[in-house]
Amino acid sequence: MVPCTDPLTSSSQTADKQQVSQEQLHADAEATLINYGVEFNKNIIVRAEGLYIYNPSGHRMLDWTSGQMSCLLGHGNTEIVDVISEHAARLDHLFSGMLSPPVINLGKRLTGLTPSGLDKAIFLSTGGESNEFAIRIAKFFTGKFEIVGLSASWHGVTGAAIGAQYHSGRAGYGPVMPGNFALPAPNAYRSIFRHPDGTYDWETELNYGFSLIDRQSCGSLAAVILEPILSSGGMHTLPPGYLKALKQHCEERGMLMIIDEAQTAIGRAGDMFAFQHYAEDEGVVPDILTLSKTLGNGIPLSAVVVSDEVAEKTKKDGFMYYTTHLNDPLPAAVGDKVLEIVVRDGLVNQSRELGKVLQEGLKKLQSRYGCIGDVRGRGLMAGVEIVTDRVTKTPGFELGNKIGERMAELGVWAQLGTHQSFAGVFRIAPPITITEEELREGLEIMEQAFESTEGSMPLY
């Protein structure tokens, strides 16, 4: 096997040899790496810097997914790099029963930003792990075991998390944990629940969903888990008032509410935490909040925040959750710096204001190309749904892939989801450090991609 080298640091700089390098990298990957349910992208990325990612030929693309929706402050942020370097040298990893200043500092800073009722935190590694912890502590606190999720949800692939996940990943592995139920996921574009005037009737949909759950439950409903914006499910925002209505359903049944803000928190959706957005949901605080992705800016870091009541009762009753990288100092120091930068630089407001520019630009594209069925989202988090017919809303998977490939060729990388519950939606989530000029550059490239792709159905 030819040794795997970084083409950008190779002595050869000719286009032919760079192309051979990429082909060899793909061959090495095929020979040595396990496929995990997605086709590897044809672009092997050899450098990520700021807002951009680079392939072996030096082709540069605006990274409009922030890696895996995680690099909130961009790739290689110098302040984050300094924190990683310092802690890698001086305070990287400890016995899980030991605490360190970075962990305590992050706990103070994070709970200083959350509302009352979200009072104590723990720091883990991934979003799946944080949701696993949240479900586990909810079961322990309530003494019940049934968990409700939304039908287009994504919460991770660990045991309890995937049991509450319905977007994909359930088939082919045998039974999931017992006691899982699904509510219809809010989808203003496609839901069959409509008022007589054709507008979305989410309240009837939610009430109907709970009526079915009540018929199936054995009387042990512990918690509901949901995202404020269903990212993997197609970038669908919850309707105004949805969280308040859901919280009432939970209280009537003695359930806890878990909100998973892996992708939406720390300013991504235009608020520090996305559950705080609507006036119609004012006063609603989840019993348990989970964070990941954006908190670590690409470093594996997640958090669970609970009320004093939950923390004190579960401590007294002997709750246990113990992992190797629990409360590790290095990632905690990164998370503390991320929060510091977001607050110091006013990035929540920047995301909110630039989100208006992004939505305006995407809706302008929608007015020009008939293949765009819907544009949605909030802050610097948007979804563009591709269809082959606006009347029938037939998903345009193949067309979307062609547009996405053309966008990448022109210099913007944005993921198109093709799972059935995703229905061919571009997920757009650039780092919130992006400037308006860079945002408009990306929108112009998108325009070029739609214009030059056959089947995009130009309207004028």
* Tokens coding 283: 């006063």
State the pLDDT confidence band at 404, using cuts at 50, 70 and 90: very high
Say whether 60 is catalytic: no
| 8 band by pLDDT with thresholds 50, 70 and 90 | low
Q: Decide if 30 is catalytic.
A: no
Whose CA is closest to 413, among 387, 455, 442? 442
Which pLDDT value is given to residue 21? Answer: 80
| pLDDT classification of 415: cutoffs 50, 70, 90 | confident
The residue behind tokens 């040595």 is 32
Residues facing residue 258 across a β-bridge: 225, 288
Q: Which of 136, 144, 376, 427 is an active site residue?
A: 427
Backbone angles phi, psi at 303, to 5 degrees: -145, 150
CB distance 374 to 385 below 8 Å:
yes
**What is the DSSP code (8-state) at residue 212?**
H
Give CA–CA dist 57/36, Å, rounded: 26
Mean pLDDT confidence for 29-38? 89
Q: What is the pLDDT of residue 6?
A: 52
CB 56 within 8 A of CB 8: yes
Largest CA distance in the chain: 68
> What percent of the chain has a predicted confidence (pLDDT) above 90?
84
Mean pLDDT of 355-384: 98
Q: How confident is the model at residue 42 (pLDDT cuts 50, 70, 90)?
A: confident
Lowest mean pLDDT of 91-100, 173-182, 256-265, name the range. 173-182
Q: What are the distances in angstroms from CA 170 to CA 153, 156, 163, 182?
A: 12, 11, 8, 13
Which three-class secondary structure state does DSSP give residue 148? Answer: strand
Domains by residue range for the chain, with CATH: 78-344 (3.40.640.10)
- Looking at residue 13, its pLDDT comes to 47
Query: Which is catalytic among the residues 268, 293, 376, 378?
Result: 293
What is the residue type of 174?
G
Query: 167 with 152: CB under 8 angstroms?
Result: yes
When pLDDT is averaged across residues 131-147 and rounded to a whole number, the result is 98
Q: What is the predicted pLDDT for the residue at 416?
A: 80
Mean pLDDT, residues 167-178: 87
* Of the candidate ranges 32-36, 233-237, 339-343, 423-427, the one whose mean pLDDT is the lowest: 423-427
Alpha helices in 280-433, H assignment, sequence order? 308-317, 329-344, 347-368, 397-410
Per the annotation, the verdict on 427 as an active-site residue is yes
* pTM beyond cutoff 0.85: yes
Q: Is residue 314 within 8 Å of 137, Cβ to Cβ?
A: yes
**Spatial separation of the C-alpha atoms in residues 253 and 307, rounded to whole Å:** 19
What's the CA angle centered on 378, arms 372 and 380, to 5 degrees? 90
Owner of token pair 């009541």? 309
Least trusted range by pLDDT, from 190-194, 305-309, 396-400: 396-400
Looking at every residue in the chain, the average pLDDT score rounds to 93
pLDDT value of residue 117: 97
| Residue 185, phi then psi, degrees to nearest 5 | -75, 130
C-alpha to C-alpha distance for 326 and 124, rounded to whole angstroms: 5
Average pLDDT over residues 10-20: 48
The pLDDT score that the predictor gives to residue 418 is 55
Residue 78, Cβ density class (10 Å: 0-12 exposed, 13-18 middle, ≥19 buried): exposed
* Residue 259, H or E segment: strand 256-260
Counting residues of the chain whose pLDDT is more than 70, the rounded percentage is 94
What is the phi-psi region of residue 149: left when phi exceeds 0, alpha when psi lies from -120 to 50, beta otherwise? Answer: beta
pLDDT at 120 over 60: yes
**What's the confidence (pLDDT) of residue 460?**
86
The one-character DSSP state at 150 is E
Q: Which of 24, 165, 263, 415 is catalytic?
A: 263
> For residue 103, what are its two tokens?
């962990």
The pLDDT of residue 38? 78
- Determine contact, residues 229/429, Cβ cutoff 8 Å: no
What are the respective helix, strand and coil percentages of the chain, to the nearest 5?
A: 40, 15, 40
**Catalytic, out of 260, 261, 287, 385:** 260
Mean pLDDT in residue range 146-151: 97
In this model, does residue 1 exceed pLDDT 70? Answer: no
- Return the higher-pLDDT residue of 258 and 41: 258
Report the C-alpha gap between 421 and 233 in whole angstroms: 6
Has 350 been annotated as catalytic? no
Task: Using the predicted structure, report yes or no on whether residue 322 has a pLDDT greater than 60.
Answer: yes
Query: Coil, strand or helix: which one is 131?
Result: helix
Between CA 115 and CA 237 the distance in angstroms is 21
Of the residues 146, 201, 205, 227, only one is catalytic, namely 227
Mean pLDDT calculated for residue range 37-58 = 91
**Of the listed 64, 154, 202, 413, which one is catalytic?**
154
Respond yes or no: is residue 64 known to be catalytic. Answer: no
Catalytic-residue membership of 201: no
